[in-house]
Structure 1
Amino acid sequence: MKVGVYGLGRFGAFWATQLSKKVEVVGYNRSKRDLIIDGVKLVDFDSLCSCDVIFLCVSISSLQEVLNSIKDHISDDTLVIDTCSVKVYPAQLMSEILHKGQPLIATHPMFGPDSAKEGLRGLPLVFHPLRCSVDQKEYWITLFKEMEIDVIEMSPQEHDKEAAYSQGVTHFVGRMLDELHLKPTKLATVGYKRLMSIVEQTCNDPLQLFYDLQRYNPYAHYMRSELKEASDKILTRLKIEEVKKMEDA
């Protein structure tokens, strides 16, 4: 079996290398730039489309274009697996754009090069078989577990609702703190250092990922509204306390 990885950006290159430890992996990238990726042979578009399995490691916002580009070049039995950080939108696109009966699996590896610095053990990967055989499902669950990944079976809707209040909040707060231009300080508490690590981890990812997480997760706008409401509540409480002190003075 030959596995192709479409999209060799920061995550795609990382993921291709991890997969190559278990299966034969080739990679394709639309942008013409020199790439050297451990364990991965770079191929052209047609060679990528001839693979038995294709992982799509592209931005959420470019997924529709990519699916349209491959749909008439892949075999009807090619297994297509996305790795997007939201799940409802990609699942819908793959089901609608690719051929009827095309084997499909929706995944979200909830880690990347930074969070996997010390290895993959125990890191979560959301897995949902959209349209595939039992053998295909079991093969990939088994392979991911052999990679020491924690496989979580969850529907796209469940994923997006939960991720909006976990990953979505983390990226939003990380970007917000980055706007404060926080710097390391010798007065840093453990809590401050943890906040700085959130900034580093989230802002190492492409800004497009942040925009896509907020735009394509159908629950993200609820999260932002509640986050603003929570901030307003705290500021209001502080203002009330300040008024009390002034009145007592």
Structure 2
Amino acid sequence: MNVYIIGVGLIGGSLALDMQHEFKNCTIYGIDQQEEHLQEAINLGIIQKKAELKDVTNADIVVVSIPVDVSVDLIPEVLNLVSDNCLVIDVGSTKTQICQAIEQHPKRRNFLATHPIAGTEFSGPKAALRNLYKGKTNIICEVEKTAFKLQEKALDIFSKLGMRIRYMDPKSHDKHIAYVSHLSHISSFMLGKTVIEKEKNERDIFDMAGSGFASTVRLAKSSPAMWTPIFEQNKDNVIETLEEYIQNLQHFKQLLEEHKFSEIYSEMENTNHIKQILTGIQEVKLS
């Protein structure tokens, strides 16, 4: 089985590592704009061979793991090149524009739109991890538009990698992911920005930063090259979530200004319910 990974960073590289482990007969080829990434991926055992885009004519599976703005233009090119039996998967964080871009493509049946909800704040081949996807949810969009045999092939791979599957239409995916992922990243980036700007005048501020600060700004270490296109493609949903978030922040600020600390207590106590929600989700994933 010839597997071509376009983009050998955290997501694509982790997928390559797991597929090598689960499918002993597969050969992993890497395609990346950065030659140093390809060489690094070979040195780390993430891929076995370097390749170019034209080589996907020999592919059984192509995984597109690059910034979503580039994917929109590249996936139709990939579909132009692959054989009728090749499965093309993208793993980007937005789905609507990509699905629209290939809606009328003659080989639409070869494409499966997915979003594994997995990752870290790190990027590049060195960030790739074995078992990154184990127990994680993988969102699949417009599955009915993919050839049934290719659906089966994809589901077999996802099952062996330990993923849980959810089906969703692209617009719903992009709306929901704006709340649970995209807003979190913006919050982290802006908290980091706020503290960095304050630190210019107060040099001791980072000496006082504890684990709470570190965990909250962890996502601010994420790649701007990846996240800027995500925010652009999902702009309307992200703006909606930001408006709601800003309203909550302004309300909290108003309660502080008016010394309404019993109401602040109630706000936090009500929000504590998220512990039960997240615990329930975790239990489902482990079951």
> How would you bin the TM-score normalised by the shorter chain?
0.7 to 0.9
Counterpart code for 1:109: P
For residues 47-101 of structure 1, the C-alpha deviation after alignment (integer angstroms, 9 at most, x for no partner) is: 23421221110101212332354343223443221111011121112324x4354
Kindly indicate whether the alpha-carbon contact (under 8 Å) linking 1:14 and 1:113 is maintained by their aligned counterparts in 2.
no
User: Partner of 2:54 in structure 1?
Assistant: 46
Counterpart Cα distance in 2 of 1:82 and 1:5: 10
2:110 pairs with 1:103 = yes
**1:152 Cα deviation after fit:** 1.7
Counterpart Cα distance in 1 of 2:74 and 2:117: 22
Counterpart Cα distance in 1 of 2:84 and 2:4: 16
Structure 1: gaps spanning 5 or more residues = 243-249
Counterpart code for 2:15: W
Counterpart Cα distance in 2 of 1:75 and 1:117: 30
**1:194 Cα deviation after fit:** 4.3
User: Partner of 1:233 in structure 2?
Assistant: 251
What does 1:197-236 align with in structure 2 at a 5 Å threshold? Answer: 197-200=215-218, 202-217=219-234, 218-236=236-254
What does 1:9-48 align with in structure 2 at a 5 Å threshold? Answer: 9-23=9-23, 24=26, 25-33=28-36, 34-35=39-40, 36=42, 37-41=44-48, 42-48=50-56
Kindly indicate whether the alpha-carbon contact (under 8 Å) linking 1:5 and 1:48 is maintained by their aligned counterparts in 2.
no
Counterpart code for 1:212: P
- One of 92, 101, 109 as aligned partner of 1:93: 101
RMSD: 2.6
Counterpart Cα distance in 1 of 2:216 and 2:130: 17
Kindly indicate whether the alpha-carbon contact (under 8 Å) linking 2:138 and 2:163 is maintained by their aligned counterparts in 1.
yes
Give me the identity figure in percent.
18
Larger RCO of the pair (alpha carbons < 8 Å, separation 6+): 2
Compared with structure 1, are the counterparts of its residues 12 and 94 closer, same or farther at alpha carbon in structure 2 (3 Å cutoff)? same
State the SS of the aligned residue for 1:95: coil
**1:20 Cα deviation after fit:** 2.3
For residues 134-181 of structure 1, the C-alpha deviation after alignment (integer angstroms, 9 at most, x for no partner) is: 232123223212211222222212211111110012111111121114
- One of 114, 121, 125 as aligned partner of 2:138: 125
For residues 180-220 of structure 1, the C-alpha deviation after alignment (integer angstroms, 9 at most, x for no partner) is: 147364x84xxxx24422422x2332112322232212411
Number of residue pairs the alignment of both structures matches: 235
Kindly indicate whether the alpha-carbon contact (under 8 Å) linking 1:28 and 1:48 is maintained by their aligned counterparts in 2.
no
Compared with structure 1, are the counterparts of its residues 118 and 107 closer, same or farther at alpha carbon in structure 2 (3 Å cutoff)? same
State the SS of the aligned residue for 1:241: coil
Compared with structure 1, are the counterparts of its residues 2 and 130 closer, same or farther at alpha carbon in structure 2 (3 Å cutoff)? farther
**When you count helix as a share of all residues, which structure comes out higher?**
2
Counterpart Cα distance in 1 of 2:167 and 2:94: 14
Compared with structure 1, are the counterparts of its residues 177 and 29 closer, same or farther at alpha carbon in structure 2 (3 Å cutoff)? same
Compared with structure 1, are the counterparts of its residues 53 and 221 closer, same or farther at alpha carbon in structure 2 (3 Å cutoff)? same
Further displaced range: 30-39 or 214-223: 30-39
State the SS of the aligned residue for 1:153: strand
